[in-house]
Amino acid sequence: MGRNNYFRFKQFTIVHEKSGMKVGTDGVLIGAWSDHPAPQRVLDIGSGSGLTPLMLAQRYPVEITGVEIDPIAAAEAESNIAQSPWKERISIVHTSIQEYKSSHSFDLIVSNPPFFQNGPTSPDPLRKRARHTDSLSFEDLMKSVATLLSENGFFCVILPANQIDYIINIGLHNKLYLNKVCYVRPKQDSAPKRVMLRFCLHEKTRIIEESLFIEKDRHLYSDDYISLTEEFYLKM
């Protein structure tokens, strides 16, 4: 991703000058990979500067809600959405997901959550909040999803590959069952660095397994990555 304070996609632009979490590959991946055959309502948890809500609005002609705890990021998301073709269908709620209340459930819930649980933290408090689980633990995330997900809904999340067993177990405690996983590798011969997981409220006997790698070489993207993201990127 570029170092500008904005990132231009095919149908919208993200200004991420103030938000703690900039546009990155993780956000693009989960925004493109998350799926539901016919969602009526969609929720994004931890919207940052608005990338995922905008990607989901481009894909699905329904109401999109984004929840963002940081006031600066929420304001930047609202500004980006106001400049988009889907401003009438996207709303950003400035609160934590733990405090968020909704009168209805959601058919598709998506999150690119903070996932660093220990180790050195960023001196930038906005980036620290966006990247570390201090403000949103996996336990709180899965508990919130379990209360907001519709009967036939899907919850999609992207995490470091080494966190997969941990979050699957937390999901089980909340009656959220893994039914699809995609292992993401930086290069073809690399070990998986990220996993994208899809949960539902019904236990499945068969879990769909996928994998993709991002680059064949520096800035030379794989066919699978291009296929997944080409409706968003201006060029690959």
pLDDT digits (tens, 9 = 90+) for 198-230: 999 999 789 999 999 999 998 899 999 999 999
The average confidence (pLDDT) of the chain is 90
Question: Are 96 and 83 a contacting pair, CB within 8 Å?
Answer: no
What's the token pair of residue 201? 């409220």
- pLDDT > 70 fraction of the chain, expressed in percent and rounded: 90
| Maximum alpha-carbon separation in the chain | 48
Which residues, 6+ apart, have CB-to-CB distance to 110 below 8 Å? 30, 31, 34, 42, 43, 44, 45, 52, 56, 155, 156, 157
Q: At 22, which amino acid appears? A: K
Going through 113-176 in order, the beta strands assigned E by DSSP cover 149-160
**Structural domains of the chain, count:** 1
Residue 38: inside a domain: yes
Residue 132 is given by DSSP the state B
Residues 65-122: tens digit of each pLDDT: 999 999 999 999 999 999 999 999 999 999 999 999 999 999 999 999 987 444 444 4
3-class DSSP assignment, residue 206: coil
Query: Residue 191: CA atoms inside 13 Å, Cβ hemisphere, count?
Result: 3
Which residues, 6+ apart, have CB-to-CB distance to 119 below 8 Å? none
Q: At 98, which amino acid appears? A: Q
Residue 97: inside a domain: yes
- pLDDT > 90 fraction of the chain, expressed in percent and rounded: 81
Whether 128 shows a pLDDT value over 70: the answer reads no
Whole-number pLDDT of residue 179: 96
Residue 1: inside a domain: no
Question: Are 198 and 30 a contacting pair, CB within 8 Å?
Answer: no
- What is the pTM assigned to this prediction? 0.90
Whole-number pLDDT of residue 204: 79
**CATH at 177:** 3.40.50.150
Whole-number pLDDT of residue 236: 58
Residue 16: inside a domain: yes
Identify the domain containing residue 49 by its residue range. 6-229
Whole-number pLDDT of residue 205: 80
Residues 58-68: tens digit of each pLDDT: 999 999 999 99
